[in-house]
């Protein structure tokens, strides 16, 4: 039986479906939603903006809050509570690093490939990387 589940979420529909899947299929598990901010990119990305903030923790919490609000709404529809955590850095690496503390990871896949090729070329597919490298079982929800 799974008792601790990590659900990484961004603001996408697949991520929301992954949370719904985890809540619906694991009614007794503690579910933690992880939102990663400050993603580095070839142009330095939002990581630079965060590093310039006066209060780093407050800035990361602010950026994560819209995703957490939606996650709490999904959980409330099922009369469930969730835990939330903010991560900073590369999404796949951050998920993999935190996976050891959980029984499984449930994450969304972006399904349609219309923009996938460019994204994979630049940063790789997060779900694919997590599946290959996580130390715990991973469920990818479409």
- For the stretch 28-58, pLDDT in tens is 999 999 999 866 555 445 544 555 556 768 8
Given CATH 3.40.50.10440, say whether it is the number of domain 4-141. Answer: no
pTM score? 0.84
- What does each C-alpha distance from 76 to 81, 98, 123 come to in angstroms? 7, 25, 33
Q: In which order are the strands placed within the sheet that holds 30-37?
A: 83-88, 30-37, 4-8, 104-108, 138-141
Are the beta carbons of 18 and 108 closer than 8 angstroms? yes
Torsion angle in degrees (nearest 10) through CA of 30, 7, 83, 102 = 50
Distance between CA atoms of residues 119 and 90, nearest Å: 13
Are the beta carbons of 33 and 82 closer than 8 angstroms? yes
DSSP-assigned letter for residue 4: E
Of 89, 100, 73, the closest CA to residue 37 belongs to 89
The residue ranges of every structural domain in the chain are 4-141
Which residues of 89-131 form beta strands (DSSP E)?
A: 104-108
- For the stretch 58-115, pLDDT in tens is 888 898 999 999 999 999 999 999 999 999 888 999 999 999 999 999 999 874 444 5
């Amino acid at each position: 039986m799974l008792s601790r589940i990590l659900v990484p979420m961004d603001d996408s529909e697949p991520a929301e479906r992954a949370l719904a899947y985890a809540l619906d299929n694991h009614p007794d598990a503690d579910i933690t939603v992880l939102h990663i901010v400050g993603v580095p990119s070839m142009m330095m990305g939002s990581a630079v903006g965060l590093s310039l903030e006066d209060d780093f923790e407050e800035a990361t919490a602010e950026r994560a809050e819209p995703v957490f609000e939606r996650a709490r709404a999904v959980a409330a529809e099922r009369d469930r509570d969730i835990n939330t955590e903010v991560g900073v850095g590369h999404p796949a690496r951050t998920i993999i690093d935190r996976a050891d503390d959980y029984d499984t990871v449930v994450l969304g896949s972006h399904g349609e490939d219309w923009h996938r090729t460019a994204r994979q070329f630049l940063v790789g597919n997060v779900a694919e990387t997590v599946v290959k490298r996580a130390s715990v079982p991973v469920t990818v929800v479409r």
